[in-house]
Amino acid sequence: MDHRGSEPFGGETASSHDTGMFSPCPACRGGLLHSWKKPFILAATLAIAACSHEYTGSDEAAKALRRYDVIQALAANEKVVVAGTQNGALLLSRDAGKTWSRQALGQASLIDLAACPDGSFVGIDFNHKVWSADADGGGWQAGALEKPQVPLAVACDSLGRWHVAGSGAKIARSADRGASWQVADLGEDAQITAVQMIDEHRGVALGEFGLFAVTDDGGATWRPGARLPGEFYPYAALFTGRDEGYVSGLAGTVLRTRDGGASWQQIGNAAEAPLYRLFMHDGRPHGVGAGGVVARLAGDGFAALPYPDAAPVFLGAGASLAGRGAIVVGGPGGLVRSVGTQVN
């Protein structure tokens, strides 16, 4: 592993309310980013990266949150929140998203992050790297990832093993923090867009064309399961246990399984927006997505969760602030903020 970006955070701090809420680049504001999710991630990454180099004045460079930042991934433990951006910056908050500091990781585009049981973090980089940090959100280090060639999703299981899924229907597992990898190949020309380890043995992976795969040996081997209907393309997936799971897709469609993926049924999504991330918060599935939507499971469907000062932009990242009655969400224009989830 190299040690780029392993220096501690500097003195740059900013309030999450100090940054502009718009993206200055016309290409970044357009439909390209509205459909930024994984089918178009290469084009989106290149376009956003080009935008991010246009505004580098001294005033902007002094800020921790910058208006050309696009928050692509979020993860949190009991102490800190970390956010990955498209332009090589890692953001850190020690006060539940109120203020942030910034660290440059170099040529990087962090597209997914996960917190491990010991509080440490693992993230994947569109540029064929895996990043890791300690439980304080510091000491970031990068290691090369050979396969999958394009990593799209990462999970950390209850034993601290890393699982990376992506292009070529490949899933890589490391039990030694990236020093070595074991790769499982499902033998399909498909992207895996979501991977989750439900416990130390059972895991699920979902991808293009309704692909669904299961492991029962902690990710050592994977077997194909019953495909999702209609060649469903999953933006995000969340299993609450071995039997019950949810997957979100195009046009706000949400499917649910109650038999471990053997069958799926569409459920309601009153938020009427695609959900780009699904995650557990306070014992209930939550999601974030297009139009600034925050949603959560309510009965037999998802319902929008109103919150003040919502910006009508896509939210591509979300994470639970456990025990704090809030989540943290992120999107374009340097938007990263906490949202209260308590109902009066």
Q: Are strands 336-340 and 326-330 parallel, antiparallel or unpaired?
A: antiparallel
Cβ atoms of 303 and 56 closer than 8 Å: no
Q: Hey, what are 150's tokens?
A: 């394009």
Give dist(CA 34, CA 342) in Å, integer: 28
Cα–Cα distance, 336 to 70 (Å, whole number):
9
SS3 label, residue 111: strand
For position 342, what pLDDT does the model report? 85
Instruction: Please state the φ and ψ torsions of residue 322, each to the nearest 5 degrees.
Output: -60, 135
The pTM (predicted TM-score) of the whole model is: 0.84
Q: How far apart are CA 264 and CA 286, in angstroms?
A: 19
Q: What are phi and psi of 185, to 5 degrees?
A: -115, 120
The token duo for 221 is 């081997």
Pairing of strands 265-269, 301-304: parallel
Rg, the chain, Cα only: 18
* Phi, psi for 97 (deg, rounded to 5): 90, 5
Cα–Cα distance between 63 and 15 in angstroms, integer?
Answer: 10
Q: Which pLDDT tens digit goes with each residue over 296-308? A: 999 999 999 999 9
Q: Which domains does the chain have, with CATH numbers?
A: 21-340 (2.130.10.10)
Name the nearest CA neighbour of 52 among 17, 91, 86. 86
Asked if residue 130 lies in contact with residue 111, where contact means CB atoms within 8 angstroms, the answer is: no
Residue type at 235 in one-letter notation: Y
H-helix segments, the chain:
26-29, 31-34, 41-52, 58-61
Name the β-bridge partners of 15: 99
**Amino acid 236: pLDDT:** 98
- Sheet strands side by side (includes 170-174): 151-156, 162-166, 170-174, 182-185
3-state secondary structure of 40: helix
Q: CB neighbours of 298 closer than 8 A, spacing ≥ 6? A: none
* Single-letter residue type at 123: G
| pLDDT value of position 112 | 98
Residues of the chain with pLDDT under 50: 1-55
Q: What are the beta bridge partners of residue 269?
A: 302
Q: What are phi and psi of 287, to 5 degrees?
A: -150, 160
Residue-level pLDDT at 34? 32
